[in-house]
Structure 1
Amino acid sequence: MRTERPLKLGTRRSALAMAQSGQVAREITRLTGRDVELVEITTYGDVSREQLAQIGGTGVFVSALRDALLAGDIDLAVHSLKDLPTDQPAELTIAAVPPRVDPRDALIARNGLTFEQLTAAGTDAAPVRIGTGSPRRMSQLNAWARTLGHRIETVPIRGNVDTRIGFVRSGELDAVVLAAAGLTRVGRLDEVTELIDSDAVLPAPGQGALAVECVTSDAPLATRLAGLDDPFTRVAVTAERTLLAALEAGCSAPVGALADPQADGEAVTEMRLRGVVGTIDGSTLVQLSTTGHVPASAVEQTAWATRLGRELADAMLAKGAAGLMGERAH
């Protein structure tokens, strides 16, 4: 009896990437009975010490994995969807978007403080210092502080989860903001002092979701991987990423988006899409939303979600969104 060789799954080397790739590997084995071998790949984003906005952000964690796919060195790759460029090469296909983990941002602050408590403790002369490498977070955190009548200092940081939380533990920063999904996947959600409501800070398009990618020519593998796909997540991230693409913005731009699908049983029936673009200092935001009824057909859902994203992007551009993205790195 012939035994199929293990599938080679390409992943970044970080603890978070290994954790989420391991989860996907176990699901593939459960669904298909086929063993999966993790192949660690170093990306440019992993070795560069510059801020993501300075090196372009878009694709820096993805290109090496995609090169390995196209070269046949691996069979599939797992990406954090928010890191994936919105332009999809024809040679590759996103075979599955598994169920999304909490898309919100999370605050880890000194002394267990919430954002409101933390900012109230600062002064104009000595504002609280909050670390994040994301222009999107900087923009919305600064805007949130303004609504509370406070001023904060957002500090650009890089590094893995340990490094970032370490800035707070050492007293170098008052707080850091990370994705709740990442903290969940590495088992450190208990260190969060506040899960930030999306009404205050919209997450990055696709945040909390993963993309399982393979070469388009391997249709049998794509079909098997499709068993991991979650239609709720797929329709939501399609709308969010279309909004990002229509704004002609990359993942280093100060753009937030979140689609909230509503369900009746196992069918998605309605979805609200929210988007925000702002200046880094938070002085000006363009924030709009739209809601629509989701068609029943899975094929029609993709086209519908694409239209929804484009329509909201057009409305935001009409309100001046393009002018607010001038601070982003190219």
Structure 2
Amino acid sequence: MYCPKCYIKFPSGERRCPKCGGPGLPRNTPLKANSVQPKTVSLTGSQKSKLLFSSVMGLLFLAIPSSIIFGILLPLQFNWLWFLLGIGIICIGIYTNSSLHELLDGTASVKSAQLLKVDRFDVGARICFGFFHGIGRLTIDNAMCEAATVGATYQLIYSPRSKIAWNIELQTEQKSNTIAHTQPNAQENAIAQSKKLNFAQRKELFSMLIKNLMLTSLFPIYILINSSIDMASISIMAFGFMLGMVMFTVFYLKEVILIGLDLISNPIEIDNTRLIRVKFTYRRGKTRYYAHFENTNRLMINEQQYMYLIENQQYHLSYSLWTRKLWYAQLIDSK
């Protein structure tokens, strides 16, 4: 049984919802088409417990860089750069702790959406993701993953910021190809044919450049401010941290150079080719999306493109040469 008002399951022997006291319905009972669905529902106790654990782990993770800055670097020699960086890391960490914000809010969203893809990863424990039309990637549990039907429409109860699906109820098994019926408009056709970066693309690259420049400049600024540090007197932990910062700086410096080359050279590569496969990688909570095409090899794509690209289909592409970023991919009609 489940409650059509609270959207929570309860034992079939119970006739009334333990939360609101309303009458229950069998789990397979379809919802009425003209019924008005609530946009949010209250989180259950178990859901709040999971969010609490996740938020606490996120706050504990902040203790690592904070302890290095406030416990190792600042005692060596105080400077405002590291102090402000430490305060900034704490503030940003709390602001981006989605589980904490949703725990304080106490509600989950309700929406109907078509399931487009399902992906599974084994990273110590099995993690499953469902990609839903109009919502994006959500973490789903193993039971949902096994029962999920790609192309079917589900009613979801989910946390939009932490991207967790708490419950999915099948609404219709009828499969429809949302991608095939989506046709580019005249403006998108014109942009895809252009061989120069437009304003929006340059703005996105410039934003990426500023972000990488900020990350690249942290360690050099620290060295300039603290040029008198005696390397022989620092601890092994502090030396290891500095070595890690050097590697961190070199990595982001490479990104800065590639973005700069795209901005300076300006042209966009145009090609008609077949999509071999799309790839989604998940490592230590970080996600990356790639598309492998027949003539252009691997390109970097976003979540939206990953959801809607169809393998073994011909596409008209526009992408940047150096950063290998895919801007547009238009499905070529095979008829």
With CA pairs under 8 Å and 6+ residues apart, which has the higher RCO, 1 or 2?
Answer: 1
**What is the TM-score of this pair, normalised by structure 2?**
0.23
**What is the TM-score of this pair, normalised by structure 1?**
0.23
Larger Rg: 2
